[in-house]
């Protein structure tokens, strides 16, 4: 029984968080520095961008997580600390500041940065903000919320989620904060996602859970097909729930994976719906594919198509673009067996059967596609595999935001 | 000596063309049916979309070109004849209409369609327009121009080009018409390109020239990364120039390839600059890559990035997005050796050296990026290979066009 609860990253036992405005951003009303901290040392796992150009914080975080343990996460927004001189030195210094102010060894600190690429990140505002940041740490919904706000860039709302679940008889909690919302095509992007849990789980099994989960969560999400240089998804498990530690595959691990996926898939929907300039969430579910890989390729290709995204923005039931995107997806499909439905709260419109168009009401189609959450259901009718991918519509606002992001 | 000349597909000896409005499109002022015809049978070659969902005309054209010869090309715009019942039957009927009106066997006719996917194409308007179409055939710039207009969809200007060159002492000519300009990421897209030449060349060598050429021309072009279902690039060579036929590799074949590439690369620039909603051409040249494949992957990735395209639209020198796109391109690069310049008629702005930012004048950068043709020069400094890719900026107008293309 997985149940949604309040509290974000502070929902699990023993996790505090906070966020402040330290001055990296000029806008004083927007927090720009976050800290998440566990009372005890945690199993820790991470997955990172596959971009060859990697943010300096990723190099430092990878090194700090090499032993499988961590206890704190420090994150700034407003500057990606990427493609600049001495980025690694600055990222290391951020970890040292956490040690100086909390006593947690720098080598147990996860560090991340998000914002503009290629501008020098000054340590001065971060150093000056540490006192207020550490003083504000609290295990409360407000703490998680302040941290979630501090990691936002072009996000229009905070991404927080938490669930409770039961593991070996013990009540456990898992929570997360994340940010998007441009340069998002995680493989793994300037996407950041931090999960906390009080479940007891070994570093190896936590890494396995995270590595598996991204394949059906973040890697199935795209705002603009641009895989960022700074994508980071880290999970911390402090074990304070008191469950028997998960150290191998089996029922308990499966329950943990389900709880983790509840968190990450919920965040994917939130991240997609808040994609830069987006007005609509697009969720594509492909069923009946030959293999899981085929289903994933097909679903991801549909939500990635600029043409389909623009059509959804215009509430135009241009299903030929779905077929087109399926056709170049790389998935092995029988094109004359494909069925496509557009679906939303307003109803369902079958638009394609067996690879060919069927008559439909343009009026109903317009109504269906004018909702905020659009579902595209693709039946391949050539196997048993299924996958879901998340994206958003392509709008004037996306162009506007990205025509003038840096200046 | 390759020299640009007038006349488009009618520049080579023995080629006539024309285009009419037959009624597939409602707008009577826009021609929608084109015919290109050679006085004699031609060596013929083609490359087509790699999309699994293929337009019915492609199936028919492939079959007709299986013997390496053809003599005419019929093309309609306004309907892609794709993903609908009996598409192949309609495409075959179009070829039969050419036979009935000109005597050229249907099996020597190349057929193509472009427009909306998934709507039934009626043969009636095509049949009714044939008389006027065949009567209008002329070997003149006007004939080529009418055909070029008839194959346009969202194109804002006609794409025609022709060159003269010398092959084994004989004066030869090569001409082409093409259309874009959305769903363009040819591999090979609703892109159509028809080349005519009076050079004598065997079908095998013509196919080899075409197949090689697309790797450095059309496959290096992207408007929106959507590989269409109907991409077709066909070349017809009637040999009327009287040169000794090109039947093997060597100097003459190299000269022909250069002439062909002059045509296709020119058209790529025209297609990119007229990309749906585009206000600017983006040409990215990557030099110093380890392999040709690395150079191509890197250059194509830059012109494909929505973020970079939006930044160019906004004249924002956000070079970090160039580095990001290079990093996820799949090319093997030394990220700390990369140099990037933005260049246009207004000047050159070095923005990145050795993978890190360098100080530059924002004023000059704005001026450079406000021109109509933007060049992005990437130096990899790790090898000797180079490649060029073409794209366009991402604008409000792209979203507008594609939010309401079908209705």
User: Which string of DSSP letters, residue by residue, matches B112-123?
Assistant: EEES-SSSPPPS
- Those residues with Cβ within 8 angstroms of residue A258's Cβ, 6 or more apart along the chain or in another chain: A2, A165
Average pLDDT over residues A158-178: 88
Axis-axis angle for helices A124-136, A87-102 (nearest 10): 30
ipTM: 0.74
B285 touches chain A (CB under 8 A): no
Is A388 an active-site residue? no
> Tell me: the pLDDT tens digits for A70-108?
999 999 999 989 888 889 999 999 999 999 999 999 999
Which of the residue ranges A141-150, A219-228, A382-391, B113-122 would you say has the lowest mean pLDDT?
A219-228
Residues 334-353 of A with CB under 8 A from B: 335, 352
B216 touches chain A (CB under 8 A): no
Residues 108-167 of A with CB under 8 A from B: 116-120
pLDDT of residue B84: 84
Average pLDDT over residues A223-238: 72
> Tell me: the pLDDT tens digits for A313-372?
999 998 988 988 898 888 999 988 999 999 999 999 999 999 888 999 999 999 999 999
Q: Which residue has the tokens 């600390």?
A: A81
Is the Cβ–Cβ distance between A121 and A24 less than 8 Å? yes
Q: What is the CATH number of domain A281-403?
A: 3.10.20.340
Supply the DSSP symbol for A53: S
pLDDT of residue B137: 97
Domain boundaries, chain B: 3-273, 281-403
Is the Cβ–Cβ distance between A381 and A355 less than 8 Å? no
Is the Cβ–Cβ distance between B238 and B253 less than 8 Å? no
In B87-231, DSSP assigns E strands to 109-114, 159-167, 170-179, 192-197
Supply the DSSP symbol for B172: E
Dihedral of CA atoms B7, B149, B82, A331 in degrees, nearest 10, equals 70
Segments of chain B scoring below 50 in pLDDT: 187-190
Average pLDDT over residues A178-188: 61
**Option in B116, B182, B326 nearest A320 (CB):** B116
Distance in Å, alpha carbon of B386 to nearest chain A alpha carbon: 20
- Is the omega angle on the peptide bond into residue B95 within 30 degrees of 0, that is, cis? no
B395 touches chain A (CB under 8 A): yes
In words, the CATH class of domain A3-271 is alpha beta
Which of the residue ranges A141-150, A162-171, B143-152 would you say has the lowest mean pLDDT?
A162-171
Report whether pLDDT(A187) > 50: no
Token representation of residue A191 = 């996407």
Report whether pLDDT(A111) > 50: yes
Average pLDDT over residues A206-219: 72
Q: Is the Cβ pair A321, B407 closer than 8 Å? A: no
- Those residues with Cβ within 8 angstroms of residue A93's Cβ, 6 or more apart along the chain or in another chain: A123, A126
Distance in Å, alpha carbon of B235 to nearest chain A alpha carbon: 24
R_g of chain A computed on alpha carbons? 21
Token representation of residue B249 = 């590799």
Smallest CA-to-CA distance from B322 within B286, B348, B290, B293 is with B286
pLDDT of residue B189: 43
| Cβ count within 10 A of residue B121 | 26
Supply the DSSP symbol for B257: H
CA distance A389 to A384: 17
Smallest CA-to-CA distance from A32 within A155, A189, A162 is with A155
Smallest CA-to-CA distance from B369 within B309, B324, B290, B292 is with B309
pTM > 0.90: no
Q: Which residue has the tokens 């030394």?
A: B334
Distance in Å, alpha carbon of B10 to nearest chain A alpha carbon: 33
Token representation of residue A243 = 């469950």
CA distance A272 to A250: 32
Smallest CA-to-CA distance from A271 within A142, A174, A144, A183 is with A183
Report whether pLDDT(A405) > 60: no
pLDDT of residue A189: 43
CA distance B347 to B363: 11
List b or e across A208-240, with b for residues whose CB sees 16 or more CB atoms inside 10 angstroms: bbbeebbebbbbbbbbbbbbbbbbbbbbbbbbb
CA distance A375 to A345: 9
**CA dihedral for A373, A378, A379, A383, sign (positive or negative):** negative
Strand, helix or coil at B41?
A: strand
Q: Is the Cβ pair B394, A405 closer than 8 Å? A: no
Smallest CA-to-CA distance from B234 within B15, B59, B5, B70 is with B70
Token representation of residue B164 = 């003269």
CA distance B62 to A207: 50
Token representation of residue B27 = 């707008």
Is the Cβ–Cβ distance between B349 and B342 less than 8 Å? yes
| Residues A83, A84, A86: CA angle, nearest 5 degrees | 125
Is the Cβ–Cβ distance between B92 and B63 less than 8 Å? no
Beta-ladder partners of B16:
B37
Among B117, B118, B228, the strongest candidate for a mutation testing the A interface, having the largest count of A CBs within 10 A, is B118
pLDDT of residue A219: 63
Is the Cβ–Cβ distance between B76 and B32 less than 8 Å? yes
> Tell me: the pLDDT tens digits for A247-306?
888 888 888 888 888 888 888 888 888 888 889 999 999 999 999 989 988 998 898 888
A311 touches chain B (CB under 8 A): yes
Q: Is the Cβ pair A53, B327 closer than 8 Å? A: yes
Distance in Å, alpha carbon of B182 to nearest chain A alpha carbon: 8
List b or e across B317-328, with b for residues whose CB sees 16 or more CB atoms inside 10 angstroms: bbbbbbbbbbbb
Is the Cβ–Cβ distance between A168 and A251 less than 8 Å? no
Pairing of strands B159-167, B170-179: antiparallel
Count of helices and strands (H, E) across chain A: 11, 15
CA end-to-end distance (rounded Å), chain B = 48
A189 touches chain B (CB under 8 A): no
> Tell me: the pLDDT tens digits for A2-29?
889 999 999 999 999 999 999 999 888 8
CA distance A323 to B183: 12
Residue A400: Cβ-neighbour burial (10 angstroms; 0-12, 13-18, 19+): middle
- Those residues with Cβ within 8 angstroms of residue B285's Cβ, 6 or more apart along the chain or in another chain: B299, B375, B376, B377, B378, B386, B387, B388
User: Which string of DSSP letters, residue by residue, matches A243-267?
Assistant: PPPB-SSSHHHHHHHHHHHHHHHHH
Q: Is the Cβ pair A404, B314 closer than 8 Å? A: yes
Token representation of residue B149 = 């207009």
Catalytic residue among A114, A153, A154, A190: A190
In words, the CATH class of domain B3-273 is alpha beta
| Closest chain B CA to residue A276 | B307
Smallest CA-to-CA distance from B228 within B75, B47, B49 is with B49
Is the Cβ–Cβ distance between A366 and A312 less than 8 Å? no
pLDDT of residue B131: 98
A305 touches chain B (CB under 8 A): yes
């Amino acid at each position: 029984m997985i149940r949604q609860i309040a509290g974000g990253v502070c929902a699990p036992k023993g996790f505090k968080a906070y966020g402040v405005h330290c001055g990296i951003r000029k806008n004083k009303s927007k927090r720009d520095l976050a800290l998440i901290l566990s009372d005890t040392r945690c199993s820790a796992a991470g997955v990172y961008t596959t971009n060859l150009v990697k943010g300096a914080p990723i190099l430092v975080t990878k090194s700090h997580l090499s032993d499988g343990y961590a206890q704190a996460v420090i994150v700034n927004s407003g500057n990606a600390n990427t493609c600049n001189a001495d980025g690694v030195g600055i990222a290391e210094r951020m970890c040292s500041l956490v040690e100086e102010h909390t006593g947690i060894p720098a080598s147990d600190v996860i560090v991340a940065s998000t914002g503009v690429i290629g501008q020098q990140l000054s340590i001065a505002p971060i150093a000056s903000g540490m006192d207020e940041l550490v003083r504000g740490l609290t295990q409360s919904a407000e703490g998680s919320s302040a941290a979630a706000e501090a990691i936002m860039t072009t996000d229009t709302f905070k991404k927080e989620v938490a669930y409770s679940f039961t593991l070996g008889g013990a009540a456990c909690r898992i929570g997360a904060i994340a940010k998007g919302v441009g340069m998002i095509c995680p493989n793994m992007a300037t996407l950041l996602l931090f999960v906390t849990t009080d479940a007891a789980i070994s570093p190896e099994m936590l890494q396995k859970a995270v590595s598996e989960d991204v394949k059906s969560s973040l890697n199935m999400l795209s705002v603009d097909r641009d895989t960022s240089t700074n994508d980071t998804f880290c999970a911390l498990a402090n074990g304070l729930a008191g469950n028997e530690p998960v150290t191998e595959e089996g029922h308990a691990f499966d329950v943990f994976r389900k709880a983790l996926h509840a968190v990450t898939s919920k965040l994917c929907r939130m991240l997609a719906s808040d994609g830069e300039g987006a007005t609509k969430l697009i969720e594509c579910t492909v069923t009946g594919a030959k293999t899981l890989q085929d289903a994933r390729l097909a679903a991801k290709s549909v939500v990635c198509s600029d043409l389909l995204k623009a059509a959804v923005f215009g509430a135009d039931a241009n299903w030929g673009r779905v077929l087109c995107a399926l056709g170049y997806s790389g998935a092995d499909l029988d094109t004359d067996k494909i069925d496509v439905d557009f679906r939303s709260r307003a109803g369902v419109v079958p638009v394609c059967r067996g690879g060919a168009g069927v008559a439909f009401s343009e009026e109903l189609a317009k109504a269906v596609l004018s909702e905020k959450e659009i579902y595209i259901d693709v039946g391949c009718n050539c196997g048993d595999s299924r996958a879901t991918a998340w994206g958003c519509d392509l709008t004037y606002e996306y162009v506007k935001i990205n025509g003038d992001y840096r200046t």
